[in-house]
Amino acid sequence: MAKGSIVAGFLAPHPPHLVYAENPPQNRVKSQGGWETLRWAYEACRESVRALRPDVILVHSPHWTTIVGHHFVAVPKLKGRSVDPIFPHLFQYDFEMTVDTALAELCREEAEREGLTAKLMTHPGFRIDYGTIVSLHMLNPKWDIPVLPVSANNSPYFCSLETGQEQMVKLGRATARAIERRGVRAVVVASNTLSHLHFSEEPNPPEDMSKEHVQSFAQYQWDMKVIELMREGKIDELIAVLPQFINEAFAEVRSGGLMWMLSALGFPRTRAKLHGYGTVIGTGNAVMEWIPSDEERQ
């Protein structure tokens, strides 16, 4: 079997509002549109995904939280209805997906080689979290590419930010080795918003874009600083500033998805492509893409 590789990484925020605004047939509630800047950004990502022709898409979501270890879905076929607990009036999504269970097993093996606690989720009725579903839908609404959902271990919150991020670095290395062993072309996706301070009330209707703006100027400045470092490929500076960014902007990347993805990519020095930035109830969302160079894939 040929050696597998990661062909791209995406920062893919998961506000359910984006699926709601798109009015796909899987979502049981309908909208009048909204958040077009972010949705158009995802349209560009969809074109990239189709052109890359990946065999599998792996997604690390902060809304599948596990306390003991890092978990990988290992059920070949999953279907059900996912309802956002905060926005049930926006997101009631009937999902159906094919899971690469062989890759899940290899990820577990490689995570254990890194000294991590790792488990397989084998419950046939497991309900996939909305973060995973939103990111996957926005990247590939056809759902015709196998996927592998990865849990967010609670160590960045339960232990410390430093401990949690160290675990995500190890998990990223393990994921890359598992992909190599599996012999597949893979896309790795960090399902994360950037700044995560938000409003506690929404307009009526929710898609009233005249009410949509960033929660604070300081938060916006932080988002722009971090985005610019990623666009310039200044990975060392990004890693150095992340703890302060996380603490001051309540950034959702604390959950580990971004660090996992960057680690799996080998902490690429290539410039990330920004497809779009926008706010959802005040949070900062950047849709970004990394295509590793030939040298970085070695």
Q: What's the rounded Cα separation, in Å, for the pair 148 and 14?
A: 16
What is the predicted pLDDT for the residue at 90?
96
* Pair of tokens at residue 195: 């700044």
Taking a C-beta distance cutoff of 8 angstroms, is the pair 15, 283 a contact? yes
Q: pTM score, two decimals?
A: 0.95
The three-state secondary structure class of 258 is helix
Predicted confidence at residue 158, as pLDDT, reads 80
Count of alpha carbons within 13 Å of 62, Cβ hemisphere only?
23
Distance CA 273, CA 48 (A): 11
List of domains in the chain: 5-293 (3.40.830.10)
pLDDT score recorded for residue 296: 59
Summarize the confidence of residues 41-68 as an average pLDDT: 97
Question: For 101-147, how does the pLDDT look when each residue is reduced to its tens digit (9 = 90+)?
Answer: 999 999 999 999 999 999 999 999 999 999 999 999 999 999 999 99
Q: Closest Cα partner for 176 from 51, 9, 293, 14?
A: 9
Quote the pLDDT of residue 266: 95
Report yes or no: 209 and 30 within 8 Å, Cβ to Cβ.
no
CB 47 within 8 A of CB 118: no
> For a pLDDT cut of 70, what percent of the chain falls above it?
98
What type of residue is 51? A
Span 84-98, average pLDDT: 96
